[in-house]
Amino acid sequence: MAELIKSGKACTVNPLKMSQPIGGALAYMGMRGAMPLLHGSQGCTSFGLVLFVRHFREAIPLQTTAMSEVATVLGGYENVEQAIINIANKTKPEIIGICSTGVTETKGDDVPGFIQLFRQKHPEYDHIALVYASTPDFKGAFQDGWTKAVTALVEGLVEPRGEGVAIDPARVNILPGCHITPGDIDELRDIFEAFGLVPTFLPDLSGSLDGHIPEDFTPTTLGGTGVDEARAMGRAAWTVAIGKQMRGAAEALERKAGVPFRLFDRLTGLAANDAFISFLSDISGRPVPNKYRRQRGQLVDAMLDGHFHIGGRRVAIGAEPDLLYTVGSFLHEMGAVISAAVTTTSSPMNILLPAEEVLIGDLEDLEARAEDADLLITHSHGRQAAARLHVPFFRMGLPMFDMLGAGHQVSVGYRGTRDLIFAIGNLLMHAHQSHLPTPDTWREYPSALPVPPAQETVQ
């Protein structure tokens, strides 16, 4: 259990946090034939676009209502209308996902009202789904924007199961949090399918941002979940939500279509995956395939090999709540000490982290708390702090603009956990080798480490 502290600073220095609208936009990108649309000034969109291009190294569909100063004051219906028409004609999307921004929220634009009016005036665009999430920049963080957009997708698309339509016991809905990478989704799909289950991911970034060469030349998203597939999610027997941030969306789905859900706080770690795999075995009525029995063995072995390097090490982590909880509690299980934890927004997970305190703050705060750390984990913006502190740096989260394959980083499942141990363990091993004692330094070696607190079992 951690104590939650909020940074009292007036000036945020080296932000860890990113804004809600682009979190929402990313969620929309997991839909097939989607064009996310930010209702705001063109800069709101252009910054997000550059950020995602640098992270995924993919073409990114993202549009703007291009609000000018005058339009902002007068209200943005015309801009929203024009944007939808232009996008519809130019890119022929299946769905346009709209997010508000700080500018239009400050004005108080009634976007749901706009959409209603648009539907009345333009029945010719009825074939295009319009989904809206209110995501002011001055509230919450990236993760909250994602949550709101996914909930909006559920509310706006999923249809209640019709009379006489049977539940399909093989169908499972999966609601992944924004910390679940395209690579993670691919891994999860394999796992579900190995149990004979048919997964529908909402959203599904693996089809759209996993770096494949497109089959079609389209300005909207490639792959992703289709609007028709989302509508049919009410037929599934189960919903699996990954990360506490998806609770709201899972509840909405249950309310709307009566699909029960199971929420997994994380899918990284041995115990966490044992629970997950057992659940799949239960709902599918199938025994655990040999493949996963072997992978479990490999993970156990990796934990044995890795604990020499990770155990007792002090780790400073800056990440959004669900990612922080996932990585922090897993490394804690491996014997690491979470010596500093900084996050972006409030979440029930924050106080559950096995650390003394969790701070809602920025990378300046993390840097100040990471001076005695053996490892720094955060997104690429941690590079300056890591260089100044001379601490090994492991990149996790978004953005990761200074490495290849950010979208393919896998940390879910037995195999993903195993590989995460290897990656972090190697980093620590190499750092350790370059700091071996000399005849002059052996007295100070190893540096005086506090005794790790007694391990709590974290679910």
Residues making contact with another protein (CB under 8 A): 9-15, 17-19, 21-22, 37, 40-51, 53-54, 58-59, 63-69, 71-73, 78-80, 82-87, 89-90, 101-103, 106-107, 136-139, 141, 213-217, 219, 381, 384, 401
**In angstroms, what is the minimal distance from the CB of 393 to another protein?**
15
**In angstroms, what is the minimal distance from the CB of 77 to another protein?**
11
Q: Which secondary-structure segment (H or E) carries 239?
A: strand 236-242
Q: Which is nearer to another protein, 395 or 415 (CB)?
A: 395
Q: Are 225 and 201 in contact (CB under 8 A)?
A: yes
Question: In angstroms, rounded to a whole number, what is the distance separating the alpha carbons of residues 370 and 318?
Answer: 10
Q: Which is nearer to another protein, 101 or 173 (CB)?
A: 101
Q: Which is nearer to another protein, 362 or 374 (CB)?
A: 362
Q: Which is nearer to another protein, 142 or 195 (CB)?
A: 142
Distance spanning both ends of the chain, measured CA to CA: 12
**In angstroms, what is the minimal distance from the CB of 415 to another protein?**
26
Residue type, 51: L
**In angstroms, what is the minimal distance from the CB of 213 to another protein?**
6
**In angstroms, what is the minimal distance from the CB of 259 to another protein?**
34
Residues with Cβ < 8 Å from 257, sequence gap 6 or more?
A: 158, 159, 160, 161, 233, 234
Q: Which is nearer to another protein, 295 or 344 (CB)?
A: 344
Q: Is 101 helix (H, G, I), strand (E, B) or coil?
A: coil
Is the bond into 399 cis (omega within 30 degrees of 0)?
Answer: yes
- For residues 328-363, one letter each, b for 16 or more C-beta atoms within 10 angstroms of the residue's C-beta and e for the rest, the string is bbbbbbbbbbbbbbbbbbebebbebbbbebbbbbbb
**In angstroms, what is the minimal distance from the CB of 373 to another protein?**
20
Q: Which is nearer to another protein, 139 or 262 (CB)?
A: 139
Q: Which is nearer to another protein, 44 or 267 (CB)?
A: 44
**In angstroms, what is the minimal distance from the CB of 233 to another protein?**
28
Q: Which is nearer to another protein, 43 or 453 (CB)?
A: 43
**In angstroms, what is the minimal distance from the CB of 387 to another protein?**
10
Count of residues making up the chain: 459
Question: In angstroms, rounded to a whole number, what is the distance separating the alpha carbons of residues 441 and 446?
Answer: 9
Q: Are 368 and 350 in contact (CB under 8 A)?
A: no
Question: In angstroms, rounded to a whole number, what is the distance separating the alpha carbons of residues 118 and 99?
Answer: 16
Q: Which secondary-structure segment (H or E) carries 111?
A: helix 111-121
Pick from 374, 271, 274, 288: which is nearest to 330 by CA?
A: 271
Q: Which secondary-structure segment (H or E) carries 316?
A: strand 314-318
